[in-house]
Structure formats: C-alpha cells, structure tokens
Structure 1
Amino acid sequence: MNWINYRSVKSLSYERARIAGLPETYILTLSQEEASIYRDMALAIPFNPYRQDEQEDFVRSAKEIARSFAPSSRKFIEEHLQHGFGAVLVKGLPVDEELPITPQTGGPLPPDYKTTFVSEAMLLALGELTGAEPFNFRQEGQGKAPLIDNIVPVYKLKTQKGAGGFDNNFPFHCESAWHRKRPDYLILLGVRAAEDAQTLVFSTRMFEGTPWQTASADIRQWFRLKAPDLYVQMEKAGIPMGTADFALKPPIEHGPHGIQLHINFNGTDCIDMKAVEWLAELEDFIESKTVGTIISSGDALLLNNYLTCHTRTGYSPVFNGMDRWFLRGYFKKDLWARNEKAAGEVYDEQTFREMIALGWMSDDGTLTTSFSKFVHQPEEVKKLEDREAALATLAFQLTPIAGTRLV
C-alpha cells in the first residue's frame, strides 16, 4: 500500500495570532499557605531525582506531598482532568528559590546542576494525583533519558518540531500516541517563562455541537500513526524501538466512554487523498478552536493525553541564560502490568528459552534486572552479536522491567 505522508502534502501555515485564554473554570490556584507547606516538604527530601540510585526514593518522597493536598484540590483535578475538559492549570506552586541559568541542552540535568529540587518534587506530586506512575521513553534526551525531562530552546534545533525547537511550526499532537506505552497523562511545569510562548490545548469538549462529534467510524483504516524521526534514527543506529513502528488508529475514536483523540499532525500517514483532505479539515478545526496559556514559574499544566491534544506557538529566545525552561513528566496507569497479548507476539518457546539462558527473563515470562543495563546504557546493545541483538529487540517490547521506569 502506498501510504501518503500527511505533512508532505498539507504544508504548515499556522497564524496562531488570536488565541483565547484557558478558561478560568479549569484553573486551580493554591494558597500561599499551601505552597509554603509543599515547599518545606520538598526541601526536606534528601534525594536527587537525577541520580539513578536515588530516583525511587525521590519518587516515593514526592508522593507524600500529594497526600497533603486538600481534598477540594484533589477533587478539582480529578473532575476536570479525568471526566471533563481534560486539562487543569495549577498556579501558585512553590519554586526553587535559587536557580542556575537555563541549560543549553534539554533532557537530563547533571546531578549537581541544581541545589534544590522543589519543582521536580511538585511535578511528581501532581502526577500522583492522576493515579498514574511516572516514566519515560529510552530515546528521550538522545538516549540518555531521565525520569524528568528538562525542555529548553536549543539554538541549532530552532526548526525541530518538538523539544528544543522554537519556530511556529509545531503541529498539534497527543504525546506518543502510536506507542504501546502511550502516556495517560502529561504534566508541563514551568521553571522559567517566555512571555511570547503559549502552550495551546484542544479538548474533545470542543467537538460538542459540531459534525465532528459524530465522525463516521469508517475512517478507522484510513490512517496510521508513526514513530518520531528521532526514534527511527536511533533504531537505524542499533537502538531498538521497543514498540511497533506504526499503529492503525483513527484521529478521532468513539468509544463507550466518549471521544478519544489519537492526534499527531506531524506523524500520520493517510491511505489516500480523501483521507488527507479529511485530516486537513480536522487540523484546521482544531487550530480554530484552541485555547492557550503561558506556563509561568510555579504553574503546572496537567493534560489527559486521550481527551486533549496540544502544541505551542513559536517564540524568540535570546540565549542569555534566562530563556524558557519547563519540566515534562509522563504518567501511565498500570505501568508494569503484563500484557499477555504482547508477550505472546514477542516470543515463541525457543525465544523464551534463549532469553532465560541469557538471564534476561524469568521462568514466569517477565524481564529480569539483568536486562536493565541495555535499557539504561543504549551503547551496550550495539555490542551484542547478531542473535543476541535480535533477542534484545524483542525483549525491549516487554519493558519497563518491574520496578524501573524506562520503556
């Protein structure tokens, strides 16, 4: 089948000049008293989230902060995030009082780059309120993925449609919608703001009263979502994807619990020109209905990754050490749940026995911590002989390993 790359046919043309603000209905502002309590709790955490051997202790400590949130705040977040608009902006969060300059590159931070980790603790505390576990994809940070991503402008990546880029060329998307471990929730927490950079949000609620609310089910086979270019490049360089290269998903899906989005206007193939035209109409509709907000220091935008899609406007960093900087966290329910269907597709009896012999798999069919080095050290995969490399490619489709957080 000759799939058509949507983006190669529908050129980018985003005005994004008149964006309505995120409605006050979806904004939760913490009191100074609450913020003070959370700041003290965060500063009391003796662990560093950027040290792998201290990460789980930091996560556990941050979850204690979540338990201190007022019942009214927890209810507000749950109602709007889980069952409503799908987005909540939390304002008034405590911040790190002494900040270094904005990093020149994103992804992981050196463990000693910051002296306090108040923002990181608040990100994970808010994640706990979603009922999901924090995790990340191995490929982030050019294969040096931290649990928490630091997103900053990078001069040489100006036109990149994603982290590091800052041109007005970033299409709407749901985060990693093609991946078998797609995030259920995404949190963006401001460290430093750029006053000309808006984060844009579209919700399924905006379909109400329009023909899109009853989009035909016959579009299911019209589209396929694909992996980002970075992930494909890393796979070609010997770092396995860990999931299928493509997923057949319609941009809008009607289910028993309402409409869900599977949007990535920069990573969708269409079956024919009719599908291209349909998707172009949808993109134009989303662009016309979006709302936006500037994520300032002490703000956190929580997004339901099935009820919303998002992007940002272009902006103009000056690279003086004070540029835009925010934290990004992914959260997944049942992160370590065993997928029997996936397991059955990954290995037959011979493969199973070979993985056990290598020490990568236990008798019950789960990956062991012996395989962890290939997850955390991508260069180790390249050292494997052909058969072992093929087995590792299969094993990655069973990650994350129980108790770890990289997929």
Structure 2
Amino acid sequence: MRPLRHDEEHDGRRATAGEERVLAYRAIPAEATVALAPEELDHFVREAARIRAAHVQDTLDNPRVLAAAEIAAQGLPDRLLTRLIELRTLSGSGAILIKGLPVEGALPDTPAGVPAPPAWPALAVSTLAQLSIMSVLGDTISYADEKGGSLIQDVCPVPGAEARQENTGSQLLELHTEDGFHPFKPDFLSLYCLRGDHDRVAGTVTASIGSVLGRLPRRCRQVLGRPLFRIRYSSSFVGDGPECRTPEMPVLSGPPHDPDLCVDFHAMEGTTQESKEALELLYEAMKEELAGVVLAPGDMIVIDNRVAVHGRTGFRPKYDGRDRWLRRCFAVADLRPSRVLRDRGTRVCASIL
C-alpha cells in the first residue's frame, strides 16, 4: 500500500480465518465534500416544519409526504444540487460527503436492540433532509425483509450482534455492494449521522471501481465480467432459515471501460479457482484506494451503489443510550422495474423468498 500521511490514516481490524484484515483509508477529498453553512438550510428547515405539520398523521411511505420532500429539495443550495447531479450522472469517486446538515437538538436515546423506529415526526428535520437529498438521485425504496420496510432505517449497534457482518454489528464491516443479492438493489444509499461513536474511531470507507480498473490485469477484468460468482443472502433477509445464494453472476457488467460493480467481500464466492483469484486481486486493489470519514452529527455520506463499495472499521459500543446512531436511506434511478415486488402506491418491496 502506498504510504499514508499519519494524520489521515485509520485502521479497522477483524480476525478472519486466522489472519487479520486491515482497512486503512485516506480522508474523503475536499472535491468530494460539500460543507453547508446554517443559513443555507434556513429555507429547508422551515419547509420541514411545514411538511411535518401538514402530514404528521401520514407514514413516510405516503406518496404525498414523498412528493413534499422532493419539492422541498428545490430549496437546497445550488452547489449541493450540482454535486448530487454529478454523482447521479457522471462516473467519478462514487461518493460524496455532506457536512453541516441539521440534527434535532433533543435526540432520544440511541435505539437499543432492534426496536420499531421512532415515528418520523419526532425526527422530522433530519428525516426530511435525508429524503429530499435522496430524491435528487432517484426514488426512495425499501425492502420488507429488512427493518420492516422502513424508508429511513436506524443503524445502531445491537448487543450480541457485535460480530455480525450487518448494520447491527460493531466489528469491522467488510467492503460490499449494498444488498447485492437483491434483484432490485439500491442504486444509491445514504448514511446520515445523528450521533457518533464514543471513541470517534468508526470510519465509514468507500472506493469505486473506476479508481482501480486500470490497475487490474486484463485477464482479471475478463474473469470478473463473467457469471462465475455467487452472493449469500444477508441473514437480515433470510433470518435463521437455510442459507440462500444468488445464481451465478458477474462482478463487473456493462461497458469494459466504465463498468458497474456488484461485489461483497464477505458473502461472495468465486465458483472457480480463477474467479477466486480475481476476487482477491480486486479486493487488494480496492483496499489501496479507500477513502473514508468518521461521521459526526450532521454528516451524511452518499454512495453510488452501482460503482462503489463501502464498509466500516470497528468500534466499541457501550449500550448506554449514547452509542453511534446513523439513519440509512436507499434510492433507485428507476422505480418502475421493481413494481413486480411492490403494491401500487408503495415504495416497499415485498419479500423475495
């Protein structure tokens, strides 16, 4: 790995099959960061209060609430809208970091266990900020198999789940495409920080296929483009049932010079020796290009799930009501294909099993 400046280096470690995985990362660059001043959000905060008053009895999945959030996005600062449009339409870093977003002044305790999420009006400003920003990228979507189909999902450590390779864990979370096994996986995801971890060490990391493509051998790229890989479904979708895996699929798809990426370095396996070797080469290349951030309250990272992986370094929860608390939201560029799994008027995909 190329040398890292000491003040930009963080490590995440997890013992895996007798070896220690390490994720070292650089800070997300300034050109991929949008820092907002409080006055830039005055209009939006007022809109959030108006929407809450008009729709306090409605669920977030109500088309009128989602339409109101999308209309409110027109009041976001132009420079933020420009970066979101670039993320949606151009192949770049695969992620942007937004800083300075509003967080409610009187947050409740970080949810413990796997409770029902707080009713959205209790967190109206941050909820509507996240929905509005995601509406610039596409249509919000969720999955009945995961967190009850909530459009805004709480990501918090859960006692007893520390080692799980899921959002409930607190040990190192391996690089992956979000829900890569799903036929209608999200095109974009956002993680909005309401409360950071106690020790300020939980680094959210990401890297795009565009940043590593040129360093992969030609044969490796060819193998990654063939249907020689399978992903194991997340236990958050299958519960304690038998393991399920996707049919054989490629890691890279689309134009060879600008491919899409679908990979999971914990749950994906190659079905041949050559495909296993190609997957390892890709992993090592991705680790070289990681950028990340320890999210603070008011930070939101937005990831292009079509071309970028993400993960998280480990941290130590205390389960004291003040643990790390993120809120996650998904969007797809085109909602229509998923209608085979959705009832009319809802953004929630029914179970795939």
Instruction: Give SS of 1:182's match.
Output: coil
**Is the 8 Å Cα contact of residues 39 and 95 (structure 1) preserved in structure 2?**
no
Structure 1 counterpart of 2:161, from 134, 153, 157: 157
Pick aligned residue for 1:120 from 120, 127, 133: 127
Q: Any residues of structure 2 matched to 1:161-176 within 5 Å, and which?
A: 161-168=165-172, 170-176=173-179
Structure 1: unaligned runs, 5 residues or longer: 1-8, 340-397
Judged with a 3 Å threshold, the aligned counterparts in structure 2 of structure 1 residues 262 and 63 are, in CA distance, closer, same or farther, namely: same
Residue 112 of structure 2, aligned match among 104, 113, 128: 104
- Give the one of 110, 130, 142 matched to 1:136: 142
More strand, by proportion: 2
Aligned to 2:277: 277
Tell me, which stretches of 5 or more residues in structure 2 are unaligned? 1-15
Cα distance in 1, alignment partners of residues 217 and 139 from structure 2: 32
In the alignment, what sits opposite 1:259?
Answer: 259
Counterpart among 171, 178, 181 of residue 181 in structure 2:
178
Residue 228 (structure 1) shift: 1.4
The answer (yes or no) to whether the contact 1:251–1:261 under 8 Å persists in 2 is yes
Given residue 159 of structure 2, which amino acid in structure 1 is its aligned partner?
A: Y
CA distance in 2, matches of 1:256, 1:216: 8
What amino acid maps onto 1:109 in structure 2? P
- Does structure 2 retain, via aligned residues, the 8 Å contact 1:199–1:295? yes
1:85 to 90, 93, 99: 93
Partner SS, residue 175 of structure 2? coil
What's 2:334 paired with? 334
Greater RCO, 1 or 2 (C-alpha within 8 Å, sep 6+): 2
SS of structure 2 residue aligned to 1:200:
strand
Tell me which of 202, 210, 222 is aligned to 1:205: 210
Q: Which amino acid aligns with 1:205?
A: G
CA-CA distance at 1:10 after TM superposition:
6.6
Aligned to 2:64: 57
CA 1:257–1:64 in structure 2 vs 1: closer, same or farther (change >3 Å)?
Answer: farther
CA contact (8 A) 1:95 1:119 kept: yes
The code of the aligned residue for 1:85 comes to S
Structure having the higher helix fraction is 1
Percent of residue pairs identical: 23
Provide the residue aligned with 2:4 in structure 1: none
The corresponding residue for 1:376 is none
Q: TM-score, normalised by structure 1?
A: 0.74
1:210-289 counterparts in 2 under 5 A?
210-211=215-216, 215-219=220-224, 220-233=226-239, 245-255=245-255, 258-289=258-289
CA distance in 2, matches of 1:48, 1:193: 30
Residue 304 of structure 1 and its aligned partner are, at CA, apart by 0.7
Count of aligned pairs between the two proteins:
329
Structure 1: how far apart are the matches of 2:110 and 2:57?
16
Q: List aligned pairs for 1:376-387, cutoff 5 A.
A: none
The match for 2:323 is: 323
The residue type paired with residue 135 of structure 2 is E
- Shift in CA distance, 133/107, structure 1 to aligned 2, threshold 3 Å: farther
Output the CA distance in 1 between the equivalents of 2:34 and 2:130.
Answer: 15
**Distance change in 2, residues 1:108/1:287 (3 Å):** farther
Could you say which residue in structure 1 is the equivalent of 2:26? 20
- The answer as to whether partners of 2:113 and 2:159 remain within 8 angstroms in 1 is no
Partner-residue secondary structure (3-state), 2:318 = coil
The change in CA–CA distance for 1:267 and 1:26 in structure 2 (over 3 A counts) is same
Contact 2:161 2:169 in 1 (8 A): yes
Residues 267 and 231 of structure 1, relative CA distance in 2, 3 Å threshold = same
